[in-house]
């Protein structure tokens, strides 16, 4: 009898140890807490767009105004003539919406590629627009003090739109959104002009660099160059046309990480989803054999944050990948902190706070992680509705400038898409 009691007591303590070990991270009191606030409302839909990679910050320099868009429908992609209203939210005036302009170049995933102008971050921002008659895309700089457009970047031969603004404000990356819409609808603007549609790897299309001061553009890398690189490692490659997605500036504004893709939207041939990097002067075009997920984020220096298996090949980790050495050089947290490290991620401006937004059922959740000490917390779920495919509502976290809040999307109680802020309160 004593042996039976001792045996069962031992089993009890083993089970308690295993249980508490697996739940220890959740049981630990957090060093901070989160507060979710819905900042837009009404019968119309309001959203920002794009993932918060590469310091895509919705707030202006003083943190007073937040950029957003107002639209009528979220159950389908927009028609070319259906404009979205561009506004700012005055956070110091009861979150009042101030409507400024309209754009015909947008989609439910990326919005219109908003970026506050790093050279005038208090008052100016970038967005994309379209000439509805010609279908040509162009990029705009708007000034909220002057209440007008102060610059338009229009290229008749290559009508490109902004794909990312350098952190120093010196330039923006231009891509052909007509080609993107044709080859993967969710990444472009439906029915935008595609001047390179007759070629699967054109020499006059790819990623452009537009100098903000002079307005001049140059082709950084062409589809033809990318196709040649791909065939060096896969001579028998067949595809119906390359397109480029996620043109991501690093924090030093001297390098770009991006994806060359093919095989989406019913295309024939093998699917291509190949990461590349290139120096902003056009040198150092590099094909990366290690795939770290479709939503990476630049960290400091040459490090990119993404997803990869651990050494045993069992668990997905939020890893740090060095684009110079082509090696995984560490990771953030662990699988218990980041259950889906390949989801939408964003690093704060100061580099200390990391947000991972992931979906589960019909809700989006956020894991907030402090790199300095490994402290973390997970948010409550925010409804994302049953939308999927080209009109899905991804988690897309975007940090503010004071590193203590993220802007996220969600579905309000009345069924409309609205903007939410998750504030981080340190204890």
Q: Assign residue 62 the CATH number of its domain.
A: 2.130.10.10
pLDDT of residue 427: 81
What DSSP assignment string belongs to 312-363? TS-SEEEEEEETTTTEEEEEES-TTT-S-TTSEEEE-TTSSEEEEEEEETTE
Residues 222-251, mean pLDDT to the nearest whole number: 95
- Contact by Cβ (8 Å): 139, 153: yes
* pLDDT at site 71: 97
pLDDT of 51 reads 77
* 407: β partners: 398, 421
Higher pLDDT pick, 275 / 2? 275
Domain that holds residue 110: 34-426
- pLDDT for res 15: 32
The answer to whether residue 77 is domain-embedded is yes
What is the separation of C-alpha 199 from the centre of its chain, rounded to a whole number of angstroms? 28
pLDDT digit string, tens, across residues 3-32? 433 434 433 333 333 333 333 344 345 789
| Cα distance between residue 110 and residue 188, in whole Å | 8
| In the predicted structure, residue 57 carries a pLDDT above the cut 90 | yes
Task: Specify the DSSP class assigned to residue 274.
Answer: E
Give the tens place of pLDDT for each residue, 193-235: 999 999 999 999 999 999 999 999 999 999 999 999 999 989 9
Q: What's the total number of domains in the chain?
A: 1
Q: Does the pLDDT value for residue 266 go beyond 80?
A: no
Cβ-based neighbours of 111, under 8 Å, separated by 6 or more: 47, 48, 49, 50, 69, 84
pLDDT tens digits, 109-136: 899 999 999 999 999 999 999 999 999 9
**Within a domain: 20:** no
What is the reported pLDDT for 54? 81
Residue 423 pLDDT greater than 90, yes or no: yes
Give the pair of three-digit tokens for residue 169. Answer: 């404000």
Mean pLDDT rounded to a whole number for the chain: 91
Beta bridge partners of 262: 272
Average pLDDT in the 179-187 region? 93
Residue 267 has what pLDDT?
61
Residue 19 lies in a domain: no
Position 358 in a domain: yes
21 in a structural domain: no
Rounded to an integer, the average pLDDT of 264-274 is: 78
Assess if residue 146 is contained within a domain.
yes
Query: Would residue 17 count as lying in a domain?
Result: no
What pLDDT does residue 244 have?
96
pLDDT score of 367 more than 60: yes
pLDDT surpasses 80 at 151: yes
Of residues 103 and 32, which shows the higher confidence score? 103
At 139, the pLDDT band (50, 70, 90 cuts) reads very high
pLDDT category of residue 389 using cuts at 50, 70 and 90:
confident
- What is the predicted pLDDT for the residue at 6? 40
- Taking CA atoms, 1 is separated from 10, 12, 15, 120, in Å, by 14, 16, 21, 80
* Residues 420 and 380 sit within 8 Å (Cβ to Cβ): no
Q: Considering the domain boundaries, does residue 11 fall inside one? A: no
């Amino acid at each position: 009898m004593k042996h039976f009691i001792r045996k069962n007591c031992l089993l009890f303590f083993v089970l308690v140890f295993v249980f508490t070990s697996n739940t220890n991270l959740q049981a630990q009191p957090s060093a901070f807490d989160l507060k979710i606030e819905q900042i837009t409302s009404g019968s119309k839909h309001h959203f920002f767009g794009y993932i918060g990679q590469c310091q895509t910050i919705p707030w202006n320099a003083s943190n007073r105004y937040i950029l957003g868009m107002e639209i009528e429908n979220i159950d389908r992609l927009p028609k070319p003539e259906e404009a979205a209203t561009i506004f700012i939210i005055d956070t110091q005036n009861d979150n009042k919406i101030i409507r400024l302009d309209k754009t015909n170049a947008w989609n439910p995933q990326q919005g219109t590629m908003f970026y506050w102008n790093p050279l005038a971050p208090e008052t100016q921002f970038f967005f994309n627009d379209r000439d509805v008659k010609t279908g040509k895309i162009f990029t705009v700089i708007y000034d909220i003090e002057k209440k007008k457009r102060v610059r338009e970047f229009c290229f008749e031969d290559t009508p490109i739109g902004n794909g990312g603004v350098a952190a120093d404000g010196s330039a923006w990356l231009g891509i052909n959104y007509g080609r993107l819409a044709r080859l993967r609808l969710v990444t472009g603007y439906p029915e935008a002009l595609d001047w390179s549609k007759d070629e699967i790897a054109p020499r006059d299309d790819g990623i452009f660099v537009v100098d903000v001061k002079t307005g001049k553009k140059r082709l950084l890398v062409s589809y033809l160059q990318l196709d040649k690189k791909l065939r060096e490692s896969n001579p028998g490659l067949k595809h119906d046309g390359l397109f480029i997605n996620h043109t991501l500036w690093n924090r030093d504004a001297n390098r770009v990480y991006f994806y060359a893709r093919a095989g989406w939207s019913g295309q024939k041939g093998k699917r291509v989803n190949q990461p590349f990097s290139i120096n902003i002067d056009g040198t150092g075009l590099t094909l990366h054999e290690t795939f770290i997920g479709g939503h990476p984020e630049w960290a400091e220096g040459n490090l990119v944050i993404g997803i990869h298996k651990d050494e045993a090949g069992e668990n997905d980790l939020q890893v740090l990948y060095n684009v110079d050495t082509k090696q995984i050089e560490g990771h953030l947290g662990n699988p218990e902190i980041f259950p889906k490290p390949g989801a939408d991620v964003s690093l704060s401006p100061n580099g200390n706070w990391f947000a991972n937004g992931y979906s589960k059922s019909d809700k989006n959740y956020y894991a907030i992680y402090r790199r300095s000490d490994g402290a973390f917390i997970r948010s409550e779920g925010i409804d994302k509705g049953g939308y999927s495919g080209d009109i899905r509502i991804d988690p897309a976290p975007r940090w503010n400038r004071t590193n203590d809040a993220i802007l996220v999307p969600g579905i309000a109680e009345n069924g409309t898409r609205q903007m939410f802020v998750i504030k981080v309160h340190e204890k």
